[in-house]
Amino acid sequence: MDYNKLALELHEKYKGKITTSLRDKEELNRDKLSAYYSPGVGAVSQAIAENPADLPKYTWTNNLVAVISDGSAILGLGNLGPKAAMPVMEGKALLFKHFADVDAVPIVLDVHEPEEIIATVKAIAPSFGAINLEDIAAPKCFEIEERLKAELDIPVFHDDQHGTAVVVML
């Protein structure tokens, strides 16, 4: 089996690996649309403003991970850049969904200095329930992970460093 050829064919055929879909599988009638968006959704926003800890209660953040890379250490291939990292980030999102039924969003950053990465991740963190850092070159990945763990109130994990360590320990 030529997995490289198959990978190219599948990625081209499906234009990537993941998509989003609606949780409410029933018919979206006018009343539901008005509740899910305007005017009803304002009540949800007000409830979250009054109690920010309720964000996971009302939104998909309860089951949503950001899979983030700058493309500086892709699969042992090296620094191929953020665009080349996207298929790998999509693949990680696919694994989260397939094996754990956790939604994941691939995000590639066209910034490479630790301070830029940290600032960007902190800026988007409220949209997620956890952060999975991926394919960020060492040694900067350690500083980035350590800082984000200290400064965010959601789990942060650098897969390449800790995931590899867990596998080696088994």
Catalytic residues: 37, 92
DSSP 3-state assignment of 153?
coil
HEC letters along 85-152:
HHHHHHHHHHHHHHHHCCEEEEEECCCCCHHHHHHHHHHHHHHCCEEEECCCCCCHHHHHHHHHHHHC
* CA gap 105, 68 in Å, rounded: 8
Q: What is the amino acid identity at position 146? A: E
Which residue in the block uniquely carries the two structure tokens 């995931």?
Answer: 163
Q: Which residues partner with 131 through β-bridges?
A: 66, 156
For residues 68 and 119, the answer to whether their CB atoms sit within 8 Å is: no
135: phi > 0 → left, psi -120 to 50 → alpha, else beta; which? left
Phi, psi of 22 (to 5 degrees): -85, 140
